[in-house]
Amino acid sequence: MTLLNPVFQLESSWKALPPDWPGGFFWHWLVFTVIILAFVLSVVMAFIWLERRGLGRIQARLGPNRVGPFGLLQPVADAVKVLLKEDIVPFDADKIVHWLAPVVAFTPVMMMFAVIPFQNGALLADLNIGILYFVAISSISTVGIFMAGWGSSNKYSLLSAMRDVASVVSYEIPVVLATAGVVLLAGSLSLNQIVLAQNIPFILLQPLGFLLFFIGACAEINRAPFDLLEADSELTAGFHTEYSGMKFALFYLVEYAEALAVSAIIATLFLGGWRGPFLPPWLWFLIKIFAVFFVIFWIRGTVPRVRIDQLMALAWKFLLPLALLNLLITAIEVLIWPGTLPWLLIFVNIAIMIVLVLLWSRFFKLGWGKVEV
C-alpha cells in the first residue's frame, strides 16, 4: 500500500482523486483486484489461525501447534488437504444448483471489498453509494447458501438454509437502520468520506448504533452465538454437509471472508477506518480489523448458541425498535447541530444507550418472563 502513496496521498482533500495512472482505469482495476484477492486470502488464513489458537486458549487448550512455528501453517495445510480431497456429489442432488452454490456464495463476498478504503482513496471503486452497495451485495451470498441447502437434497441442509434466510432477512433491517445513523452523521454514503468525516470515531457518537450493528452483523454472518445454520449438535454441519473438496473450501472461505468484511466495515463505519496517529493508515486499518475480529471470536468463545425463536425475538423485538429509536435520536441531533456534533454528545449518547438497553430488556420480560434473550 505504501507504494501507492504518491498517487493517492492527498493533503486536505475531501474527495479522492480519480486514478491518473497510465492506462487509466484498467490498471487501477487490475492492481486493486490483485491486492484485494491477496489481502482477503491472507487475512482469512490469519483469521482461521487466530480463531483456532484463541479459542483454544480460552478453553485451556493449545490449539493447532504442529505445522510450522506456533502452527502458523495449519491453514495452509488444511487448504492443501481440502484441495486434494475427492469431490462428492450426492446421487439425489440437484447437480447444477449444487455446483453453482459455492460460486454464488463466494463471488459477492469478494465483491464486498471493492468499496472498503485501505487508506485515503485507496479502494477499488469509490462509489458514492458505497455502504448501500455493501448492504446490497452482502445479502446475495445468502442465495448461494440457500442453493447449497436446496441442491444437496438433505433435510438438515435445507433446514439450515431456511434458518440462514430467516436470520438474514430479520437482521438486515436493524443493520441497515444502524448504518443509516452513521450515514446521517457523515452526510455521505461513500465509505471513504464516512472515514474522512470521523474526527471523533463514530463508536463514541453512535454507541447504540455500534451495538446494534455489531449484534446484527454477527447474526448475518452466522457467527456464534447466532450460528444456528451450523448448529452441529442439531444439523451435522448445516448447509455444507454434502460438500467436500474445493466446494467445501469455498464455503469455509466465504464464512471467514464474511467475518473479514464485517470486521472491515465495522472498523470503517465506527472505529475511524484507516485514520489514526503515528502509524501508516493501512496498518491502522489492519489493527482495527483484527481488534474487531478478536471481539467476534471472543464472544464465540463465551456465549452459548441461542434458539431459533430467541434469534427471531432478538431481531424483531429488541434490535428493530432500538434501531428505529437510534435513527430518530440521531436525526434530531443532526438537525439541531448541523455540521459537526459537539463532543459533549458522547456522554449523552452513551447514557441514552444504557437507558434504552435497560428499558428494552425490561420490556422483553413482559411475556411473563417466557421470552428472554
Q: Contact at 8 Å (CB) between 184 and 331? A: yes
* Residue choice 54, 68, 90, 321 for contact with another protein (CB under 8 A): 54
Range in contact with another protein (rule: CB under 8 A) among 33-41, 56-64, 130-138, 185-193: 56-64
307 touching another protein, by CB under 8 A: no
Q: Grid coordinates in use for 74? A: 495449519
Range in contact with another protein (rule: CB under 8 A) among 60-68, 87-95, 178-186, 226-234: 60-68
For another protein, the closer of residues 125 and 303 by Cβ is 303
Q: Give residues with Cβ within 8 angstroms of 353, minimum separation 6.
A: 207, 208, 211
Distances from the Cα of 360 to the Cα of 121, 300, 327, angstroms = 40, 24, 16
Task: Report the run of H or E that residue 287 belongs to, with start and end.
Answer: helix 281-300
Query: Which residues in 11-30 contact another protein (CB under 8 A)?
Result: none
Minimum distance of another protein from residue 91's CB (angstroms): 37
* Residue choice 9, 31, 56, 135 for contact with another protein (CB under 8 A): 56
For another protein, the closer of residues 34 and 366 by Cβ is 366
* Residue choice 11, 12, 60, 370 for contact with another protein (CB under 8 A): 60
Residues recorded for the chain: 373
Minimum distance of another protein from residue 369's CB (angstroms): 10
Q: Contact at 8 Å (CB) between 159 and 239? A: no
Minimum distance of another protein from residue 49's CB (angstroms): 15
Minimum distance of another protein from residue 313's CB (angstroms): 15
Distance in angstroms (rounded) separating the CA atoms of residues 218 and 296: 7
Q: Grid coordinates in use for 170? A: 430479520
Q: Give residues with Cβ within 8 angstroms of 14, minimum separation 6.
A: 193, 196
302 touching another protein, by CB under 8 A: yes
Q: Grid coordinates in use for 30? A: 487490475
291 touching another protein, by CB under 8 A: no
Query: Which residues in 342-371 contact another protein (CB under 8 A)?
Result: 357-358, 361-362, 365
Minimum distance of another protein from residue 58's CB (angstroms): 5
Q: What angle do CA 348, 353, 355 make, to 5 degrees?
A: 95
Residue 87: exposure state from Cβ atoms within 10 A (0-12, 13-18, ≥19): exposed
For another protein, the closer of residues 173 and 373 by Cβ is 373
* Residue choice 301, 316, 317, 346 for contact with another protein (CB under 8 A): 301
Q: Contact at 8 Å (CB) between 159 and 200? A: no
87 touching another protein, by CB under 8 A: no
Binding mask 182-201 for another protein (x = CB under 8 A): --------------------
Range in contact with another protein (rule: CB under 8 A) among 54-62, 135-143, 159-167, 239-247: 54-62
CB atoms within 10 A of CB 260: 25
Count of residues touching another protein (by CB under 8 A):
19
- Report DSSP letters for 188-206, one per residue: -S-HHHHHHT-SS-HHHH-
Q: Grid coordinates in use for 44? A: 482469512
Angle between helices 25-58 and 74-84 (to 10 degrees): 110
* Residue choice 24, 30, 34, 57 for contact with another protein (CB under 8 A): 57
For another protein, the closer of residues 215 and 327 by Cβ is 215
Site of interaction with another protein (CB under 8 A): 54, 56-62, 298-299, 301-303, 357-358, 361-362, 365, 372
